[in-house]
Structure 1
């Protein structure tokens, strides 16, 4: 069996991307003449680039020099004013728009071959009969298998303009045949609501970012959960780095009565913009629990802060990231852009939750490690607060500014009892790749099993567990997993759920014993019994 290269998701880093993603969804419409008029500082930089271009002894890529210069300038401002090279602007715009144009499949590279792990609903791939387990060999005349083909390359051959045709040459292992499937590309959603489902009387909604489509997705989830009898909502914003401020305002509005202040911003001139709740809230009388952790940032903190400061709901988890700056994206002539901090935002009581960055960027980025070493992630009384940044909500609850949202109910970071290499294995693509190959021969076994039946009753077989152990050995991971049968079994079951049934089933399995969700249920049923 060939060795593979695996990438491990590092969730700590997600929060650090908050400055890249947050935006007020404002468009830069100011006069170009105002910003690009001649002055001595700009002329000096332009003249220097010209000298290097025309007079310097060696050939120099001055584009790279300009990029470095821009990055260095922005680094002197704050951690969240960033430069976006033109090579990344399209991808970031796509991510925040909430859709791309393609065929509608989830993929992995398996032994140098593009393998389909899942078909997305209501997409050309589903309509034209592509199946999970298929291997895509060619897109029109472009070969997509073999060494040297990166994931980015093959994706670029599948994406295209809506309505644009493409013929895929597909190997179907179940029937051992190669077939041609022609389809037209179309918009494919990039979901920002990962999952929503009922846990007893509590509706669970997991939001991964705040993109243009997030509020629409959230409303759909909320409506269906209410229809299914949800008396409370658990809004999971853990590891959510933020996004468009407007989406956060809309979601907070669902839980706040008309006229309640949601958030306000203040720019360099001292001008304030206030946002108030409207009369459209659809869950104003229900209980709401917002789950946050150290990677919940910016727009996530706007939602949590708006509810906490209005004495609505309960914030559960650990202190959030602490980003209280608002960026606006501004295009540059070569297709690149800058996202520049243009204001600070404040929660309804007047808190700025932005962490200090006076000691430099490295110190700012090392915050997670400092929190871990101080014991803050394990013990609520280790959270440092400044009494000068003490605020009071209308009902008298004390809240603090200066560094994130401190939850109403603290839930410690689970101290891992596993060895480091088991964490590595469960956090890598080893599990999903093994399950894909396992399902090559077992996929039909699940054809008559409902998602609900699978989640509640399915148990990973001893053969599957043993097979995964052998798979690890074959890939040079000489680690005995026999002591961790429950943890590994849950990971294998969650991966089967994801590849057979989709995101909802995946999260239902993964969150079945989640400590923060268990705390929410405890709080809900305790409050219910006290009424």
Structure 2
């Protein structure tokens, strides 16, 4: 929405937003504060009325409030945020663990919706949709040749559970067009990427975030791994930015003995809540290793801190992000909400791992660059440790607060300075798109091949390596990948395996070349 002209002083807008926020989520228990609040509310309401009835220029009040609310929250802490009404659905969906739709992984390839892979067991797979299919129409809505934004495509393909949809599909491999009738259904959004065995007795579970379904996914994976003989467990929390605190607590409860402290939280009034482990954990014995890096935050740090402080397992990797603030989502009455910091959490030993945000939000979220420059990503002795923030684990080991979880076993970032770009590219979507397009050219080339046969086909010649090098150049990525040829080939082979065989097989391949996992296996 546009604002024609705004000449309202900043202080005026600030007071307006404060009034709206106060009216939404503050509570004054005593009469004196209640009277003060009532007086300010009356004053601010009058001011708003004056602006609407008397101010010389037209003003979009909603836009002023949205902008000002964001400005206020930026003055509080980096994790108190405003969620506009238009963003609420996508934010909620990302944490819900499922959505109602047709169940395909897709991307816009050239001018059409190309199916990378139907989700196993989903509506599209049941209806016969295959990798490489183009979805031309959803009902009467044309999807090709229109450069539709992703959110618009999602809106078209999603719908009510049980609702029917007719898709018009083009199958390139058979050069035919046909219609498919399917029924929209609940489609899971996985938060556990993989649960696989890395040795005969070592299981591995990768968690990408803590959503509503995370604990159920984790427990199901752990039960399966135990049946396969897992007596030790690696929990991979790298690049996991957090989510629901209680889901991390549930997982910790499965790993910790009865009555051990999992986490403590303390609010503005210094009221402390302590969460203890129960007696029904399914993996209270057996070695546990937790992998973390500079992007492991919040709920990931709660889980890692509980394992470390109780001496239940070994933390492997690099210092975590350092977020020790707890947020609660509070509706503002118009479909929007504020996610406000309401407490701090502390690990069982009593340490806060919240990093300082005194230098502002930009510096806070760009901490990776600082760590890169001071060498912390490459050497453990470059980690800044606050000697005044020493704490003791259950067995008396010294741990430190004030800035993330410091691992028990440090593993530097792979390669040397300057190698990060190649490592990031090989784990990015561009590899997935390249492999899709290669398969799209000739799907029969990989059809029916085993994992070993695919690896040989991709790594024993330069055919796919050269094609990928050209693909990077065509997409404007100038990278010197020649000295990483073997690594590039292996990652390409892994992605071919992922799209041709399965996600778990893909992870089993990557773990063989994973420095942190190999470090665990050497312990």
Shift of 1:287: 0.4
Shift of 1:122: 1.3
Extract unaligned runs of 5+ from structure 2: 1-23
1:227-376 aligned within 5 A: 227-376=227-376
Contact conserved, 2:257 with 2:284, CA < 8 A, in 1?
yes
Partner of 1:383: 383
Shift of 1:179: 0.6
Partner of 1:467: 467
Shift of 1:32: 9.0
Partner of 1:97: 96
Partner of 1:72: 71
Shift of 1:372: 1.8
- Cα RMSD (Å): 2.5
Is 2:132 the partner of 1:119? no
**CA separation in 2, counterparts of 1:372 and 1:46?**
50
Shift of 1:429: 3.7
**CA separation in 1, counterparts of 2:158 and 2:322?**
36
Contact conserved, 2:198 with 2:511, CA < 8 A, in 1?
no
Shift of 1:178: 0.7
Partner of 2:443: 443
Contact conserved, 1:112 with 1:149, CA < 8 A, in 2?
no
**CA separation in 1, counterparts of 2:99 and 2:134?**
22
Secondary structure, counterpart of 2:64 in structure 1: helix
Secondary structure, counterpart of 2:344 in structure 1: strand
Of 56-65 and 300-309, the range deviating more from structure 2: 56-65
Shift of 1:254: 1.4
Partner of 1:182: 181
Secondary structure, counterpart of 1:90 in structure 2: helix
Contact conserved, 1:327 with 1:341, CA < 8 A, in 2?
yes
Shift of 1:270: 1.7
Shift of 1:78: 1.2
**CA separation in 2, counterparts of 1:146 and 1:87?**
27
How big is each residue's C-alpha offset from its partner over 1:278-321, in whole Å with a ceiling of 9 and x where there is no partner? Answer: 11111111100000011111100111110111111100011111
Partner of 2:18: none
Shift of 1:421: 6.8
Shift of 1:423: 5.8
Contact conserved, 1:118 with 1:500, CA < 8 A, in 2?
no
Contact conserved, 1:296 with 1:321, CA < 8 A, in 2?
yes
Partner of 1:107: 106
Partner of 1:131: 130
Partner of 1:57: 56
How many residue pairs match? The answer is 494
**CA separation in 2, counterparts of 1:124 and 1:405?**
42
Partner of 1:168: 167
Contact conserved, 2:439 with 2:446, CA < 8 A, in 1?
no
* CA pair 333-482 structure 1, distance change in 2 beyond 3 A: same
* CA pair 418-352 structure 1, distance change in 2 beyond 3 A: closer
Partner of 1:514: 514
Secondary structure, counterpart of 1:250 in structure 2: helix
Shift of 1:98: 0.3
1:12-91 aligned within 5 A: 39-91=38-90
Shift of 1:467: 2.5
* CA pair 401-281 structure 1, distance change in 2 beyond 3 A: same
**CA separation in 2, counterparts of 1:75 and 1:454?**
54
TM-score (normalizing by structure 1): 0.87
TM-score (normalizing by structure 2): 0.88
Partner of 1:499: 499
Contact conserved, 2:25 with 2:330, CA < 8 A, in 1?
no
* CA pair 33-364 structure 1, distance change in 2 beyond 3 A: closer
Shift of 1:371: 1.7
